[in-house]
Amino acid sequence: GAVVSQHPSWVICKSGTSVKIECRSLDFQATTMFWYRQFPKQSLMLMATSNEGSKATYEQGVEKDKFLINHASLTLSTLTVTSAHPEDSSFYICSARPTSGGVRGLETQYFGPGTRLLVL
Amino acid sequence: KQEVTQIPAALSVPEGENLVLNCSFTDSAIYNLQWFRQDPGKGLTSLLLIQSSQREQTSGRLNASLDKSSGRSTLYIAASQPGDSATYLCAVGGYSTLTFGKGTMLLVSP
C-alpha cells in the first residue's frame, strides 16, 4: 500500500534554532502534500498545502516566513521551522495525495506517522 | 468556515459492547467524510471514506453513516475489543482541504 514516512520522528531543539522535517511518499508520486499541526487533545489543523514545483499555500494565521515549505520533487516535501520557540512545540503530521488520485476532493490522502517537536 | 464537532470527547466501555461515535459538521457542501484512527503519539490510519453521494460504508466491525443534509455522521463499532482503544477522528473533505474534529478518545477495557 501507499506509505508516507516522516523524518525525524522526534526532535528536541533549543529555542532560536531551526528544525527541518521531511515528508516522503515511498511508493507513489505526490504532486500535493499537506502539513498539519496537532496540539495535545486538539484536532489536526492544516498549516499549508505544498505543491511540487511551486510555492506552498498557507492557511490563515500561519507565518510563511517561519514555516518554510519546499516541495522539490514528487516524493519529498520539507517543513522547516525557523527560529523555533517553545510555543512551536507540537506534533507535525504530513499527508500526501497521489498524483494519479481523484480530482474530486481528497479521495485519497495518505498520512505520515508524525514528528513530535519539543523546543526548550 | 467548516467546523467539525465530535461527541463524546471520551468514552470508556467494557469489551464486547457495541458503541457509536458521533460527528457533526456545519457546512453540508462536502465532497466526502472520513473516519481515522490515531494511536497515542502516532499518525493517522484511514478507516472508512464515505463519498457525499453515499449513505454508509462498512469495513469489518465498523460501519459509518452519513447524513449530509443534517450535517451528521456516525461511526458504529460492533463487539468492541481492547485493541480498538485509540482516538477516532472525523474529517470532512472539501474541494481541497480536510477539516478535522478533535476526536473521541475510546478506551475498551478487558
Residue range B95-106, pLDDT digits in tens? 778 899 999 999
- Which cell numbers hold the place of B52? 457525499
Which of A93, A107, A113 shows the shortest C-beta gap to B32? A107
- Which cell numbers hold the place of A21? 522535517
CA atoms of A67 and A58, how far apart (whole Å): 9
| pLDDT tens-digit readout, B31-83 | 899 999 999 888 898 899 999 999 999 999 999 999 999 999 999 999 999 99
Among B4, B39, B97, pick the best mutation site for testing chain A contact (most A Cβ within 10 A).
B97
pLDDT of A93 > 60? The answer is yes
Q: Cβ of B41 under 8 Å from any chain A Cβ?
A: yes
For residue B102, what pLDDT is reported?
A: 94
| pLDDT tens-digit readout, A21-71 | 999 999 889 989 999 999 988 889 999 999 888 889 999 999 999 999 999
Side-chain-side CA neighbours of residue A33 (13 Å): 33
A107 chain-B contacts, CB cut-off 8 A = 31-32, 49, 51, 93
Summary mean pLDDT of chain A:
90
CA atoms of A67 and A69, how far apart (whole Å): 6
CA atoms of A80 and A65, how far apart (whole Å): 10
